[in-house]
Amino acid sequence: MAKKPNLLFFGIDSLRRDHMSLYGYNRLTTPNIDKYLKKGTVYSNCFSPHIPTTPGYANMLTGFDCFGTDIVALRHKGDIAPNVKTLAEILSENGYATTNVGFKNVSGRGFDTYIDYEGWKADAGDGRAHKAENLNDVALPELERLASQEKPFFLFLRHMDPHSPYLPPKPYDKIFYQKNEFDPDNHSLDPVMTFKPFCDYFATWFPEGCTDKDYIISQYDSAIAYMDTCIQTILQKLTDLGLENDTLVVFTSDHGETLHDHDCYYDHHSLYDPTLVVPLAFRFPGIIPQGARVDDTCRLQDVTPTVLDILGIDTGINFDGRSLLPLAMGTPMPKIDEFYITECTWMRKHGWRTPKWKYIKALEPDFHFKPEVELYDLENDPLEYTNIAELRQDIVMMLDKKMNDFIQGREKEVGRTNPMHNNPNWHGLNIGRGFLSSEEAYNSLHIGSPGAAAKLQQK
């Protein structure tokens, strides 16, 4: 009996697709991934509907939306919803050896082996974060070990380089920036360093005296480029082991990243598109078409059904997502281009996105003092700069009804209340109720160090 295909899964944290040269970004951030995926299929419009990390990975690794997983919060308490299997559990039942590098969280449940690495702190020697090198130090030997077994394998890698702190090692730190980051006449970081909830955290990794926001953005891009080079090492190892033609390789991310967008500085909260847009691509010689681009809208809950379809594993599970393989093969599928969106990190909001409109409704006041209701015309205002909720109450009412009808339908289907209403520890500060004002949120929420940030994501 022929050995089943292997699965090498790059589940990168905080990688927004519009900062990848793979998707046309003007900086050459992902040259190795770009070249590798010339022999794969790239999905141009994949979204992470449920922000941030814990629900994003839950959608990705189960095939279910937030109602199916019952997960919306970063600090989710308890398990995944009953009777929901993770991709690792499904593959284990089908004879796979499974290893997870860098993500020991409820959403990554079910792996045989978990391996950690330092993906947060800077190296004491040079003050830079060698995240992807640290991952390679443990992932490459594990890839060799898995390859030596009779079983097929599933190796999941959570790269942390696009996640703050953005501290790519030399020479990557300067490849996209050759100005003076300490220019005294530049005040673009002034509002960042006076934003009380996060300024102490930024001070731990921004260069002392840095004034230019473009330098910080360049560090995000440089971190991606550094990671891309380290990923090439893993891809080369796969080739050297003779496994390139026997392995499905997946690239995606749990969510995007806000840089200097919408005052949601260098993090991944908010429901604006920089946080929702993620890459998705597959390569498997002989199965996945080479050089294909798919423009249809898709979401992270489509990843697991697609992987299982490509691997030829029929589970009988009625996923919330669907296999995207037919689209890669050129077979049209019904459009699913509007969907429910949630955020349960530093703010608690939900909404509805269509190709034309973005509707956002706050469930409690946020620490950015933003309005309770936001509406954006994505066709004429793709950067979501102009809130037209007051001017287009008709559209607000229409989208609110669509959203609430969808919520009621899904609550009935799963037999549970919308998880947006029963996660009191969503922001890491359990006060037993929602915030009553933006002032209360602003004065209560705080993150002071990379160590504190890491603890927010620990089980």
* Beta strands at 357-362 and 348-353: parallel, antiparallel or unpaired: antiparallel
Per-residue pLDDT tens digits for 403-425: 999 999 999 999 999 999 987 67
In this predicted structure, the answer to whether residue 1 has a pLDDT above a threshold of 70 is no
1: in domain:
no
Averaged pLDDT of the chain: 95
349 contacts 361 by C-beta, under 8 angstroms: yes
Q: Which residue has the tokens 């995240």?
A: 131
Phi-psi region of 42 (alpha: psi -120 to 50; beta: other; left: phi over 0): beta
Q: Count how many domains the chain has.
A: 2
What 3 state SS string does 95-152 have?
Answer: CCEEEEECCCCHHHCCCCEEECCCCCCCCCCCCCCCHHHHHHHHHHHHHHHHHCCCCC
Q: What is the pLDDT of residue 434?
A: 85
pTM of the model: 0.96
Q: What is the pLDDT of residue 121?
A: 85
User: Which letter does DSSP use for residue 44 in this model?
Assistant: E
Look up the CATH number of the domain holding residue 389. Answer: 3.30.1120.10
Q: How confident is the model at residue 317 (pLDDT cuts 50, 70, 90)?
A: very high
Number of CB atoms found within 10 A of residue 126's CB:
12
Per-residue pLDDT tens digits for 95-141: 999 999 999 999 999 999 999 999 988 887 899 999 999 999 999 99
Domain end, chosen from 300, 328, 356, is at 328
334: in domain:
no
- Work out the average pLDDT over 173-182: 97
Do 158 and 271 fall into the same domain?
Answer: yes
Residue of 162, 120, 259, 200 whose CA lies nearest to 447: 200
Do 167 and 235 fall into the same domain?
Answer: yes
72: in domain:
yes
Percent of the chain with pLDDT over 70: 97
298: in domain:
yes
In this predicted structure, the answer to whether residue 163 has a pLDDT above a threshold of 60 is yes
User: Domain containing 347: what range?
Assistant: 339-456
In this predicted structure, the answer to whether residue 293 has a pLDDT above a threshold of 80 is yes
Do 260 and 403 fall into the same domain?
Answer: no
Q: What is the pLDDT of residue 312?
A: 96
Do 293 and 163 fall into the same domain?
Answer: yes
Do 292 and 358 fall into the same domain?
Answer: no
Per-residue pLDDT tens digits for 323-371: 999 999 999 999 999 999 999 989 999 999 999 999 999 999 999 999 9
448 contacts 455 by C-beta, under 8 angstroms: no
Q: Rounded to 5 degrees, what are φ and ψ at 7?
A: -130, 120
In this predicted structure, the answer to whether residue 175 has a pLDDT above a threshold of 90 is yes
Per-residue pLDDT tens digits for 199-222: 999 999 999 999 999 999 999 999
Say how many CA atoms lie within 13 Å of 185 toward its Cβ. 2
333: in domain:
no
Q: What is the pLDDT of residue 458?
A: 60
Which residues partner with 153 through β-bridges?
97
Helices 53-62 and 303-311: crossing angle in degrees, nearest 10, is 30
Look up the CATH number of the domain holding residue 73. Answer: 3.40.720.10
Q: Is 284 helix (H, G, I), strand (E, B) or coil?
A: coil
Q: Is 70 helix (H, G, I), strand (E, B) or coil?
A: coil
Do 126 and 174 fall into the same domain?
Answer: yes
Domain end, chosen from 283, 298, 328, is at 328
Do 346 and 450 fall into the same domain?
Answer: yes
403 contacts 352 by C-beta, under 8 angstroms: yes
Helix (H) or strand (E) holding 203: helix 196-205
Domain end, chosen from 328, 355, 376, is at 328
74: in domain:
yes
Q: What is the pLDDT of residue 120?
A: 87
Per-residue pLDDT tens digits for 267-284: 999 999 999 999 999 999
Residue of 131, 105, 133, 127 whose CA lies nearest to 118: 131
50: in domain:
yes
Helices 131-147 and 213-240: crossing angle in degrees, nearest 10, is 20
In this predicted structure, the answer to whether residue 459 has a pLDDT above a threshold of 60 is no
DSSP structure string for 380-399: T-TT-----TTT-HHHHHHH
Do 259 and 400 fall into the same domain?
Answer: no
367 contacts 352 by C-beta, under 8 angstroms: no
Q: Rounded to 5 degrees, what are φ and ψ at 404?
A: -70, -35
Q: What is the pLDDT of residue 203?
A: 94
Q: What is the pLDDT of residue 425?
A: 75
Q: What is the pLDDT of residue 456?
A: 65
CB-based contacts of 371, cutoff 8 Å, min separation 6: 362, 387, 389
Do 301 and 349 fall into the same domain?
Answer: no
Do 400 and 313 fall into the same domain?
Answer: no
**Cα 250 versus chain centre, distance:** 14
266: in domain:
yes
Q: Which residue has the tokens 């891009």?
A: 221
Do 268 and 413 fall into the same domain?
Answer: no
Helix (H) or strand (E) holding 234: helix 213-240
In this predicted structure, the answer to whether residue 451 has a pLDDT above a threshold of 90 is no
Do 254 and 318 fall into the same domain?
Answer: yes
